[in-house]
Homo-oligomer: A and B are copies of this chain.
């Protein structure tokens, strides 16, 4: 059986080292950089960069070939969390049990740290500017994919819809569409970029995109389920909060049982997308199974 925990630990070690080296070499450690480091190195799951690496490995590539993309994806994710937590948005004081960036620093610094991480993502993606021509084409394509997924037709649009939907009841399709934009687009592109950068053929890229789309949505569905029936001691955070806030969730729209069925179907579809892949895709298969079995 594939040891997913060890796999994650090992990849996270590499990802964190790469992130640290980018942050150390490109500036002086002032308050702005401190805030960037605070949020970027706050111990996230590194789900998007690991997915990017696992997708590259699934088609025979290596971690080294995709590391700038893996780092950029995490920077985009970190910036989006900083801005989502702001008082004008979700107004959250805590993130992963720690004060959010605007609480640990101040609001202006948090806005700028988010802006700086987003900008640094593109600086990182274009850092091979003096490399060879063929490499340049690939990295330009990855910048196109990530900027599209993160932009106003993707993640930012999803956040806008999420804010706009507060207090109103969404339909199932509206809820799916919002999640597809807010988190799904960047998760899908994480897998696609990994595959693109190691020259996977377009069929494989499509399949890995489909895999990631399905696990991205499944992650959201199980998140909602855990908010109803999870163990707060295991999860390290309160449950029942969605219900209190009258948030539209899969359990509230579908019921718990049907939400579980939906999540299982999504994971089945994700695994189905991988049937033509060999054992190099076992990490991706293990990630899919973990999403549905997780208790936190």
User: Interface on A for B, CB 8 Å cutoff?
Assistant: 26-27, 30-33, 36, 79, 83, 86, 88-89, 106-109, 111-112, 114-116, 118-120, 122-123, 125-130, 133-134, 136-137, 139-141, 143-144, 147-148, 150-153, 156-157, 159-160, 163-164
Name A's interface SS. Answer: helix
Neighbour of A160 across the interface among B31, B118, B126, CB < 8 A: B31
Whole-angstrom distance between the alpha carbons of A118 and B123 in the complex?
13
Q: Copy number of this protein in the oligomer?
A: 2
Across the interface, do A160 and B109 meet the contact criterion of CB distance under 8 Å? yes
Across the interface, do A88 and B108 meet the contact criterion of CB distance under 8 Å? yes
Q: Please, which residue of chain B has its CB at the minimum distance from the CB of A32?
A: B160
List B contacts of A31 (CB < 8 A).
160, 164
Across the interface, do B151 and A123 meet the contact criterion of CB distance under 8 Å? yes
23 A-B residue pairings within 8 Å (CB atoms): A27-B153, A30-B157, A31-B164, A32-B156, A32-B157, A36-B152, A86-B108, A88-B107, A89-B108, A89-B111, A108-B163, A112-B159, A115-B115, A118-B119, A119-B147, A123-B144, A123-B151, A126-B144, A126-B147, A129-B141, A133-B133, A133-B136, A139-B140
Query: In the complex, how many angstroms separate the beta carbon of A286 from the nearest chain B beta carbon?
Result: 32
Interface centre among A133, A143, A150, A157 (most CB of B within 10 A): A143
Query: In the complex, how many angstroms separate the beta carbon of A157 from the nearest chain B beta carbon?
Result: 6
List B contacts of A88 (CB < 8 A).
106-108, 111
Query: In the complex, how many angstroms separate the beta carbon of A91 from the nearest chain B beta carbon?
Result: 10
Neighbour of A120 across the interface among B119, B140, B151, B160, CB < 8 A: B151
List B contacts of A32 (CB < 8 A).
152, 156-157, 160
Q: 8 tightest CB-CB pairs across the interface, nearest first?
A: A88-B107, A133-B133, A123-B147, A116-B152, A126-B143, A119-B151, A136-B136, A126-B144
List B contacts of A108 (CB < 8 A).
86, 88-89, 163
Across the interface, do B36 and A112 meet the contact criterion of CB distance under 8 Å? no
Whole-angstrom distance between the alpha carbons of A29 and B81 in the complex?
25
List B contacts of A147 (CB < 8 A).
119-120, 122-123, 126
Q: Please, which residue of chain B has its CB at the minimum distance from the CB of A160?
A: B32
Query: In the complex, how many angstroms separate the beta carbon of A114 from the nearest chain B beta carbon?
Result: 8
Whole-angstrom distance between the alpha carbons of A122 and B118 in the complex?
10
List B contacts of A115 (CB < 8 A).
79, 83, 114-115, 118, 156
Across the interface, do A119 and B152 meet the contact criterion of CB distance under 8 Å? yes
Whole-angstrom distance between the alpha carbons of A254 and B91 in the complex?
44
Could you list 5 further interchain pairs (A-B, Cβ under 8 angstroms) beyond the known A118-B119, A123-B144? A115-B156, A119-B152, A120-B147, A120-B152, A125-B143
Whole-angstrom distance between the alpha carbons of A36 and B164 in the complex?
17
Neighbour of A133 across the interface among B33, B134, B153, CB < 8 A: B134
